[in-house]
Amino acid sequence: MALAKEIMGISLLEKSSSFINPSKVLLNCNFYHKENQFWVNQGRRKLRPTKALRQSPMAAISENLIKVVPEKAVKFKVRAVVTVRNKNKEDLKETLVKHLDAFTDKIGRNVALELISTDMDPNTKEPKKSKQAVLKDWSKKSNLKTERVNYTAEFVVDSNFGTPGAITVTNKHQQEFFLESITIEGFAMGPVHFPCNSWVQPKKDHPGKRIFFSNQPYLPNETPAGLIYLRERELRDLRGDGTGVRKLSDRIYDYDIYNDLGNPDKGIDFARPKLGGKDNVPYPRRCRTSRVPTVTDMSAESRVEKPNPTYVPRDEQFEESKMNAFSTGRLKAVLHNLIPSLMASISSKNHDFKGFSDIDSLYSEGLLLKLGLQDEVLKKLPLPKVVSSIKEGNLLKYDTPKILSKDKFAWLRDDEFARQAIAGVNPVTIERLQVFPPVSKLDPEIYGPQESALKEEHILGNLNGMTVQEALDANRLFIVDYHDIYLPFLDRINVLDGRNAYATRTIYFLSDLGTLKPITIELSLPQTGPSSQSKRVVTPPVDATGNWMWQLAKAHVCSNDAGVHQLVNHWLRTHACLEPFILAAHRQLSAMHPIYKLLDPHMRYTLEINGLARQSLINADGVIEACFTPGRYCMEMSAAAYKNWRFDLEGLPADLIRRGIAVPDSTQPHGLKLLIEDYPYAADGLMIWAAIEGWVRNYVNHYYQDLAQVCNDRELQAWYAESINVGHADLRNAEWWPTLATPEDLISILTTIIWLASAQHAALNFGQYPYGGYVPNRPPLMRRLIPDENDPEYTLFLADPQKYFFSALPSLLQATKFMAVVDTLSTHSLDEEYIGERHQPSTWTGDAEIIEAFYEFSAEIRRIEKEIDEKNADTKLRNRCGAGVLPYELLAPSSGPGVTCRGVPNSVSI
């Protein structure tokens, strides 16, 4: 607590003002002596006595000082220190305008500030305000090249001004600037911090004054009188009026359906169904961009193609260091894709990988050398800077994926194939098998018999002497079942050029060592007739032919897995489903609201990365359609999965129980017993879940002591109601939505949101290149089915099974495009903020107890990281330690920049 007190600068004696005579002024905080403790009334409610107050030297303050009431208010000066963040790189126009602003600042076109009190003026019935002040030395400091520049301004206030609660800022320059923070010095209570972190637009573009509040949190009904109107006005400004085309400089948060993925003006092949809305496929809402409709379809929004930016509210856009990292990744992706595209356009040859050495050369030699075209292509590229980047930075040489780092052939082993189901990039699909054979839930009138083709004889020899029922009863059988999600789409997928897929089921047996082994794979196709053989079972091999059949079957499973991972577990369940909660938070929760302050770091960059995804990843003919099995039906498959999405089951404990992987057990540390004890994702995740829940519990209980406070918090209730009724409008009538009536309800809802934004997203995202960058390990699509004796291709398969295997994998163009994109998506930027960290920790809140609780949370996260490291060195845990076995680090909280296969950022930021 002492550390929190010191950082926040709350000690009165340490910060006694040198600007005024304290004997003439009544202190703004009211102190009450009770049982040798001091209670502070901060204009909200009486806080319980804090450690900081008990240990501070405030008790030595003279009673005479406290009781003095001035006969007449005196004026005095207070100083504002305003921190502005510079851009590292400016284009020519920005440089010229910056010089113009420096010149005109001298003649009155400056930055003006006004300080507003939490108190009302009894005479005017309006908040007390200072006289307007302007930033000093803007023209002198405009050429400074430092990252941050501190400017000062002086306010003149009365001694009865009260506590500063808000500042308005007017930018009379021609150019926006990034306002990081403002600190007011000179009041008796010590420095007052205003965390801003916002772009301030020129008055000519946005005439209204920008409002910034101090770091002191207030529940709505505790808002000081002087701030009530400003609190409401700021929220109205952020909501907008639902009309008009958005400018890139706007700060308006609103909702829309996914009607911008297709481009019908380019032709029928580029049209896509609208997602979300009464007459469309159900889906979460996105941020409204308000572009004009397309010419051929008035209900579809026109597209903005890269490199032109798509709208997100200005403060949601990537900061410069993040944008530089993302742009570098995009450049790599463009260059990696450029050369195979050129080759495809000038050659009639089908560029398949001919063997494993072809893939290896992408890492050892680079794409140009592999194609034998380095000098030829470099001479033809028109941009000298690009040529230089290729030569100096080796941008066309792929980094070796981590899956190859310990054992080049690990991916071929069955135990590694199974291990990745619980410790790979998609460890959230495996379930305990409760009924054998498994049964489909699809309509048999449409999709044929619900029964599986699996029989006891297919698995009996791999159960260590158990019967099937004994294995079920002993919780030894598990399944990854993609039958129902893929089968409805296979008719359409398998007529696409270069696509051939099954709907797969894979059964695993849990060994005595705690590892899984795959014991059978079922491959299903749509039934074409009453007697058609639409289901096929493949079992572990006993001969050479069976071995290649088995490898092809596993590749099809991985292809199914890659699609569900990307479209459902990653994009839908973290990116898309969180966006409505973020939009509603900005629209309904004031920056002063303690819950907004809690959620703020977990919303960073999400709207921007989702906007970029709609622009170039999940759009018609985008990267996802090009690289994944469902092709143009990718987002329809994602929308089909949304119908079964349930927010109440998105928390980790609820999800583990739903999948039958865990059962409640009060004797266990987290209240759950894992049925696969060495389940790295679940074991590490439960530790992080518990840490998040503990932090949220301390936070919520500090502000809400009873259910009345939760129910009567109009901003909180409006946020949650709008998230459901507008943001998830297509599921608004579902009975499973949790209620928000008690502090315990709020703790559960917030913990789930923070878990999804941080740890769940990290577990699903940052292993994409480390595991998927080696395409044979996780092919994102398959181009050939497995031949049987009656197929014409069977002879080709027998003659050269390796060639057939590679012809079934993605082509060179598909593979390299996929590799480049997942490389970018797996990269941490330099400005990443990880769980247990907060930028500007001294200013984000004014509550000392909360600062102290956050330090405890941060310490717990560091402890968890050490425990994860210890587990990864424990040879008894065979799913994370052993010869050629990768450690499970996707939930290790911290990371350096780049592709590290570890690190848990606070938010969905890539």
Q: Which residue has the tokens 């059988």?
A: 477
365-370 contacts at long range (C-beta below 8 A, 24 or more positions apart):
365/397, 366/394, 366/396, 366/397, 366/398, 367/336, 367/339, 367/340, 367/396, 367/397, 367/398, 367/816, 368/339, 368/396
Whole-angstrom distance, CA of residue 37 vs CA of residue 31: 10
| Cβ neighbourhood burial of 228 (10 Å; 0-12, 13-18, 19+) | middle
Q: Angle 219-256-725 (CA atoms, 0-180°, nearest 5)? A: 50
What is the chain's percent helix, strand, coil content, to nearest 5? 45, 15, 45
Q: Which of 376, 401, 377, 383 is nearest to 331 (CA)?
A: 383
Find all residues with CB under 8 Å of 904, minimum gap 6, and list them: 688, 758, 759, 762, 834, 835, 891, 892, 893, 894
Residue 427 CA from chain centroid, whole number: 18
Catalytic residue flag (residue 910): yes
Find all residues with CB under 8 Å of 200, minimum gap 6, and list them: 111, 169, 171, 176, 177, 178, 179, 210
Whole-angstrom distance, CA of residue 615 vs CA of residue 592: 33
| Cα-based distances in Å from 420 to 225, 413, 566, 688, 779 | 57, 11, 15, 20, 14
Tokens of 114: 């006004």
Q: Which of 45, 408, 361 is nearest to 217 (CA)?
A: 45
Find all residues with CB under 8 Å of 103, minimum gap 6, and list them: 139
Catalytic residue among 206, 336, 458, 575: 575
Catalytic residue flag (residue 728): no
Catalytic residue among 193, 206, 570, 593: 570
Catalytic residue flag (residue 702): no
Query: Strands (DSSP E) along 66-225, which ranges?
Result: 75-85, 111-120, 127-129, 133-134, 148-158, 164-171, 177-185, 192-200, 210-213
Q: Do residues 40 and 31 touch, judged by C-beta distance below 8 A?
A: yes
Q: Do residues 875 and 669 touch, judged by C-beta distance below 8 A?
A: no
Catalytic residue among 761, 777, 786, 872: 761
Q: Do residues 236 and 243 touch, judged by C-beta distance below 8 A?
A: no
DSSP per-residue letters across 386-449? HHHHHHHH-TTSPPPPGGGTS-TTGGGSHHHHHHHHHHSS-TT--EE--SSS-B--S-HHHH--
Q: Which of 558, 493, 566 is nearest to 821 (CA)?
A: 566
Catalytic residue among 28, 263, 569, 765: 765
| Cβ neighbourhood burial of 338 (10 Å; 0-12, 13-18, 19+) | middle
Which ranges in 275-355 belong to alpha helices (H)? 320-346
| Cα-based distances in Å from 215 to 9, 64, 631, 848 | 13, 30, 48, 11
Whole-angstrom distance, CA of residue 221 vs CA of residue 712: 8
Question: Which residues carry out catalysis?
Answer: 570, 575, 761, 765, 910
